[in-house]
Amino acid sequence: MKKLWKRIKNSRVVKVLFARKAVIVCLIILAVMILAAIFAPFVAPYDPYKQDLRNMLQHISPAHLLGTDSMGRDLVSRIIYGGRVSFTVGLVSVLVAGSIGMVLGLIAGMAGGVVDAVIMRVMDAMMSVPMIIMALFLGSILGKGLGNICLAIGISMVPSYARVTRGQVLTVREMDYITAGTLCGASKVKNTLVHILPNCISSNIVLMTMNLGNAILNEAALSFLGMGINPPTASWGSMVNDGYKYMSSNPVIAIAPGVFIMIVVLCFNMVGDALRDAMDPKLRGTLGKKKKVKRAKA
């Protein structure tokens, strides 16, 4: 156990991730938000769905730190519970997109010919449509609800994973160890699952991390447009939609959930960018070189 911990601690990925103070701050913020969403019943000060019409549209006060909405519901409690929806949508949608996209990319890269052409032309056609428009189209077909929104956003993100996986497959399948495996009697399926697929996972993990923020942003946009989560379920996008009507009298109702959306998307993008640098093979061995050069000059 100690050897494993030491190996993880000394790995290049961990060193690059924790070399930037901004990434550490982002990881701490995300950890706090995720823990708050998981333990929402114990963290939230009020029931997020209990209406109190006598205290509706309250401003910031000691009793309600961010005030109340048009139904008298506590904003802090609804933001905490809304984090559950946002993180669930982000995680499930990228897993759906990654699973489908990797399978299609593997099939296209290994089969080649007509199969490759058909799959990639379909992916190109899907990529020509903006992600939010594709999600709106799929959402209108599938309907509202958490599961349908996750599926709609996931399908709209499939082309990026398919293209990345196909590119990795076309590179890896020409390696010497793949040829050696074929000469030793390994089938194409075994080569694909044992040797090629593991080499495609790291790049897709980076893409998933960077797409988590996009998925949360798309869910917020769909909920803002009325195509997202069914009310009265707390969702950051639907809270912005409900609160923008009161921008002149009580702007906190719309601004507060919008700020949380911005923070989460920014943190995921920064962590994904750092993870990409850490797992990029072209940058391997460059860690610490700048410091050595500065010391040599000094």
Whether 2 maps to a domain, the answer reads no
> Does residue 298 lie in a domain region?
no
Q: With CA atoms as reference, report the closest residue to 86 among 133, 45, 37, 49.
A: 37
Over residues 21-36, the mean pLDDT reads 88
Is 187 among the domain residues?
Answer: yes
59 lies in some domain:
no
* Per-residue model confidence as pLDDT tens digits over 180-195: 766 677 676 777 777 7
Taking only the tens place, the pLDDT of each residue in 244-278 is 888 888 888 888 888 888 888 888 888 877 777 77
Q: What percent of the chain has pLDDT over 70?
A: 84
Q: Kindly state whether residue 248 falls inside one of the protein's structural domains.
A: yes
What is the span of the domain harbouring residue 195?
10-49+71-293
Residue 55 is assigned to a structural domain of this protein:
no
Q: Report if residue 43 sits inside a domain.
A: yes
With cut-offs at 50, 70 and 90, classify the pLDDT of residue 111. confident
What is the reported pTM?
0.78
- Is position 65 within any domain? no
Number of domains in the chain: 1
Residues 84 and 169: their CA atoms lie apart, in Å, by 36
Residue 287 clears pLDDT 50, i.e. is over it: no
Q: 18-22, 42-46, 181-185, 261-265: lowest mean pLDDT where?
A: 181-185
- Please report, for the domain that includes residue 76, its CATH number: 1.10.3720.10
